[in-house]
A and B are shown apart, each in its own frame.
Chain A
Amino acid sequence: MSHSYNAETYAAAKKEIWKITWILSALTIVELAMGFWMYFSHGTMSSSMVMFLKGTILILMMVKAFYIVSYFMHLKHEIKNMIMTIVVPLLLFVWFITSFLYEGNSYKSLKNRYDKHLQEQTTIKVEEKHHSEAEHEKTAEPATEESSHH
């Protein structure tokens, strides 16, 4: 039965693939543009604007994921039963993400409230400690040694 394919459907399928490729590329370019925008206006951009751009990037990420799953992975062309059994369990991620991030944030505020020393530490500016190769070997040694008897 699979032989009943013809050149027409083959061409149509290829056309769809290239269309999706352009959409994915365009979305990535938009994401990158936002990334550069944030980078070049560093420090001058208001934090709410940064939040807005980051939020937009996350939404675009979901859109890209949708296109990859629907078209490249062909899910959109499967029958509805199949689509539902994939999409419905993914809804579990909503609560998975919400509660974990909420919990992380709460952990930070609790620490900052009760561990004043830690909070002070995180306001002191420090130098970056870039190493040359040789120096790096030296600093890496004790760290690996310590971890080895954990």
Chain B
Amino acid sequence: MSTTAVHNTKWWSGGKSPFNLEYGKVMMWYFLMSDAFTFGAFLIAYGTSRFATNGWPDPNHVFSSYPFKAEGSAAAPLVFVSFMTFVLIVSSVTMVLAVQAGHHQDKKGVVRNLILTIIGGAIFLGCQAWEWTHLHAEGAWWGLNPFTNADGTHATTNFTNFFFTITGFHGFHVFSGVIINIVMLIMTLNNTFEKKGHYLMIEKAGLYWHFVDLVWVFVFTLFYLV
């Protein structure tokens, strides 16, 4: 098969997929588009509320702790969340390695990389649980905001409201992604894909997992950095 053969095909003439993709993958892509609008709406609502409010808390001040931090040691903003970000990026890498291994019928590679991805997802969820617990202990929750605005004035509760809602919704996606990956792992170990002759299912799970990573890129930037 050469490049020209690909380009001369009449993709839209019927009898085949115009994208050269099976329907499941097309559906997964459009599902993710739809989910992008869910997250987009959340983040845009957050931005709108922020633009509509005088002052906003300083994320460097709010998110300045990390586990096992000694009492009285210097505040370290961004450190913990950077760790979480890297965990998620790395788990995305192992996921794409699992997908590639699937393409090449490399069952061992699929299993190894899926396990690593699941571990990465679990670590991320653990970190999020720790952060939520920590903030809760500081008095932050839905409807409760102990922090002041960056300029020391009184802040509304919408900072914590949006933080918990959006990271919670993202965490829920990570959680379901981990469950999906565990199912994929079990199916791989049972040789389900080996018998089918292809690992297309893993590709779809992979798309979902990368999407979760993608959303975190936005959540991370918009809540912790700017």
Residue A44, interface by CB 8 Å: no
> B52's contact among A54, A104, A125, A129, by CB below 8 Å, is which?
A104
Residue B97, interface by CB 8 Å: yes
Q: Give chain A's interface residue range (CB within 8 Å of chain B).
A: 35 or more
> A61's contact among B33, B40, B96, B221, by CB below 8 Å, is which?
B221
> Is A121 in contact with B154, judged by CB distance below 8 angstroms?
yes
- Of B100-108, B119-127, B169-177, B184-192, the one contacting chain A is B100-108
Q: Is the interface of A mostly helix, strand, loop or mixed?
A: helix
> Is B217 in contact with A65, judged by CB distance below 8 angstroms?
yes
- Complex Cα gap A133–B134 (Å): 11
> Is B11 in contact with A10, judged by CB distance below 8 angstroms?
no
> Is B217 in contact with A104, judged by CB distance below 8 angstroms?
no
Residue of B nearest to A21 (CB): B93
> A2's contact among B89, B105, B213, by CB below 8 Å, is which?
B105
Enumerate chain A interface residues (CB-CB to B < 8 A).
Answer: 2-3, 5, 9-10, 13-14, 17-18, 21, 24-25, 28, 31-32, 34-36, 38-39, 42, 54, 57-58, 61, 64-65, 68-69, 71-74, 78-79, 81-82, 85-86, 89-90, 93, 96-97, 100-101, 103-105, 107-108, 111-112, 119, 121-131, 133, 135-136, 139-140, 143, 147
Enumerate chain B interface residues (CB-CB to A < 8 A).
Answer: 6, 11-12, 18-21, 29, 33, 36, 40, 44-45, 47-55, 60, 77-78, 82, 85-86, 89-90, 92-93, 95-97, 99-100, 103-106, 136-139, 141, 143-144, 146-149, 151-154, 197-198, 203, 206-207, 210-211, 213-214, 217-218, 221, 224-226
